[in-house]
A and B are shown apart, each in its own frame.
Chain A
Amino acid sequence: MKQIWIITKRELQAYFDSLMAYILLILFLGFSGFFTWIYGNDIFFIKQATLMPFFNIAYWTLFFFIPALTMRLLSEENRMGTIELLLTKPVSNWQVLMGKYVASLLLIATALLLTFSYPISVSTMGNLDAGEVFSGYLALLLFSSMMIGIGLFTSSIGNNQIVSYLLALFIGIFFQIIFGMLGQSLPGIPGHVLDYLSTSTHFESMTRGVLDTRDILFFAGISFLMLVFSESMLIRKRFA
C-alpha cells in the first residue's frame, strides 16, 4: 500500500504541476454547471428537484475528459524511458498501475466533490431524493473508474499520447453506444450479453436510485479487466 501511495502522490503532483488538474476541474465544473443550471434541459427547464440533468451531462463530459487525463500515464513513461527506472525500483507492476489509477480516481473524486453544492442548492428548491443523489454520484465514480481503466490500458500500449486518447475513446464508444445498439437489435443470449456490456443501461439504472450489485459489478469488473490488460502490456515489455 505504501508503494502505491508514493506513486499516487507523484502522479497527483504531476497533474497539478502540469496544470492538467486545474484545467480539468475548471472545464468539468464549467461544462456541467452550464448545462445543469443555464442551458438546454437544465433543472429550471424541467422544473423538478432532481440532479438527473447534472448526471447526464457529467456522464458525457467525463467520457471525453478522462482519456485526456490518463493518456500520458504510461505512454509518457514509455516515451521518456522512465518506465525502466520505475520498474527497476522495488515496486511491482500492480503497484505502479494502482498508484496511477488511484491518482486519477482521486482527481475525478475531487471534481465530483466540488459539485456537492448542486444537490445542496436543489434540495433548497424542492424535495430531493437523497438515495437517488447518492447512487447517481456512485454511478459517476464507478463509470470514471471504468474509463480510467480503459485510459490506463490504452496508455500502456505505446508511447504516443494522442493515439492513447483516441484509442480510449474508440473502446469507450463501444461501451457507451455500440454494445447497447447491437444488444437491442440482436435476439437471444448475444443480445443480452451485449446489452449487459452497455454502460448506459447500468448508469441510467443507478441514477434512478436503483442500487443493484450487477451494475456495481459491471463497472468494477471492466475496471479490473482493464488493469489486468495494462499489466499484461507491462509484462510484455519485459519479455520483449
Chain B
Amino acid sequence: MDIVVENLVKSYGLQRAVDNISFRVRTGEVLGFLGPNGAGKTTTMKAITTFLVPDSGNIHVGNYSIHEDPEKLKKNIGYLPENNPLYEDMPVIDYLKFVANLHGIPKQEIHGSLLNVIDLCGLEAEKHKKIGELSKGYKQRVGLAQALIHKPEVLILDEPTTGLDPNQIVEIRELIKKIGKEKTVILSSHILAEVEATCDRILIINKGKIVADGTTQDLRNQASGKTILKARILGGNLDSIFAALQKIDGVKVVDFINKDQNRFYLDGDQSKNLAEGVFNACVKNGWILTELIPVETKLEDIFKELTMESPVKN
C-alpha cells in the first residue's frame, strides 16, 4: 500500500511546521525520516495517521484519503507515536487484546494474533505484568506490538528504538527490515546510523521542507557533488608529484596530508574519474601508487550540511 503525501501544509499559530511537502513511499520500501528537532517529522507522521488535520494538502494511504476515508485508512496503519504512550494500569496481554478488539480482529483469531506479536516482540515473560511495571525497553516493545498486532499494510514508527539496549536495537532493526520487505514503513530517528542501516530511502526535512530525498548514496552525491581521494605516491619528487596531481582533469584541490609519508589529499569533480587520473599519472611518470582511498562523506556531515544551510528542494 503506497503512501502519497501531496502539498502538505500544517502551521501551529504563526509557525509553519510543515511547508508544502510532497513525497511518495512505495510498498516494500522503508523510508527513514530525518531532521533536527522541530523540523516537522512528527507533525507529518501525525497527519498521515489522521491524528492531526493539515491546513491544506492531502494524504492517501492506498486508495484511502485522510479527508474522505479516515476510518478505513486507520485500519491499515500501525502507529507507534513519539514517547510511546501506553495505558500503564493495564496488563500487557489485556492491553494488546484491547487494541486487537479495536482493530476488529475476529474473536477466533485474537488468540493467535496475540501469541504471534508477543513472540515477535519478545514479551512472553512480561505478558501478565502491568505495563507501568515494565522497563523502558519492554514498554517500547509493547508499543511496537500494539502497532503490529493487526498486521497493518503501513507502519509509522516515530523513533522506534528509543530506550532499547544495543541487542534490542539490532533485533528491532531486523524486525523492521523484515516487515519492510512486504509493507510500507516510515520511521523517524535521530540516530543516523540506524536510518542508514534500516532504510531503503532517506528523506531529510528541515524547517518544514524537504531538503533531501534519496538513498544514502544519492544523498552523499547530492550533498557533496565531489569526490575526495587520499593517495600515497612513492618514487618521485614531492613537488613534481604535486604538480602532476594538480593537472589531472577534474581535480580542484590538492593538498598534503603528510609530506614525510608522501600522502596527498585530492578534492575534485564527481563527474570525472579522479582515481583513473591518479593511476595514469603514476604510470606515466613511473611512480609507485601504494594507497588510493576514496573518502566517503559521512551521513552526519550530509545531515549537518543540509540542515544548517537549508537549501530547499521540493
Contacts and interface: CB of A to CB of B under 8 A. Distances in A.
Contacts of A193: none
Interface stretch (A10-18, A33-41, A45-53, A179-187): A10-18
Interface stretch (B73-81, B164-172, B226-234, B243-251): B73-81
B89 A88 contact: no
Contacts of A240: 12, 52
A90 B85 contact: no
Contacts of A88: 49-51, 74, 77, 79, 81
A96 to B, nearest CB: 10
Contacts of B267: none
Chain A interface bracket (under 10, 10 to 19, 20 to 34, 35 or more): 20 to 34
Contacts of A10: 87, 90, 98
B101 interface: yes
Contacts of B88: 80
Given A10-B98, A90-B71, A90-B75, A85 B81 contact: yes
B102 A239 contact: no
- Contact residue range for chain B? 20 to 34
A89 B83 contact: no
Contacts of B53: 238-239
Which residue, of A2, A10, A17, A92, has the highest number of chain B Cβ atoms within 10 A?
Answer: A10
A121 interface: no
Nearest to A235: B53
Contact of A81 (B12, B85, B98): B85
Nearest to B101: A6
Contacts of A2: 104
Contact of A17 (B72, B81, B89, B103): B89
A87 interface: yes
A3 interface: yes
Interface of B: 12, 46, 49-53, 71-72, 74-75, 77, 79, 81, 83, 85-90, 94, 98-99, 101-104, 146
